[in-house]
Amino acid sequence: MALVLDTGPLYASLDRSDQDHRACRALIEEADEPRVIPAPVLVEVDYWIHRRLHPGVLLGLLDDIVAGAYRVEDLQPDDYRRVRELTDRYADQDLGFVDAAVLAVVERLGETRLATLDHRHFAVLRPRHVDALLLLPSAEVDQ
């Protein structure tokens, strides 16, 4: 079992001024299982860090990856096929590449939970392996 991280919680855990910082940081720090970052998520996190924070935050994240705090999961050839299927199927939802890639990784790893703040997309998506994903942190978390 692993905790797969979408862009929102990973970024929020790094930005102390983000309204979801405490909940996301706690979720990540308290995870007993490996923390998995789908590789495309890093590109989005890098974008937001450079827009809103400072380069030292990215360096700290990279240090954590090198130290083994996170496992970066590269996309496999079958994942790209699934990304294409998902973006076609959910075209009316404006599903982007990164969200589709996150779901493809979740499916491949057989995970039933996803750390995301993007409930708009992920509450609608139907994974192949379960009826629905448990989206964390839950809406009931005191932020």
Residue range 50-59, pLDDT digits in tens: 999 999 999 9
Which of 78-87, 94-103, 134-143 has the least mean pLDDT?
134-143
Global pTM value: 0.94
According to the model, what pLDDT value does residue 138 have?
Answer: 82
Which pLDDT does position 139 carry in this prediction? 61
The residue-averaged pLDDT of 6-21 equals 98
What is the pLDDT, as a whole number, of residue 143? Answer: 37
Average pLDDT score over the chain: 95
**Mean predicted confidence (pLDDT) in 64-75:** 98
Contacts of 136 (CB under 8 A, 6+ apart): 3, 9, 27, 113, 114, 115, 116
Strands across the sheet containing 3-4 = 3-4, 35-38, 71-73
Sorted by where each starts, the structural domains of the chain and their CATH numbers stand as 3-136 (3.40.50.1010)
pLDDT tens profile 110-139: 999 999 999 999 999 999 999 999 999 986
Q: What is the DSSP secondary-structure string of 77-122? A: HHHHHHHHHHHHHTGGGT--HHHHHHHHHHHHHT-SEEE-S-HHHH
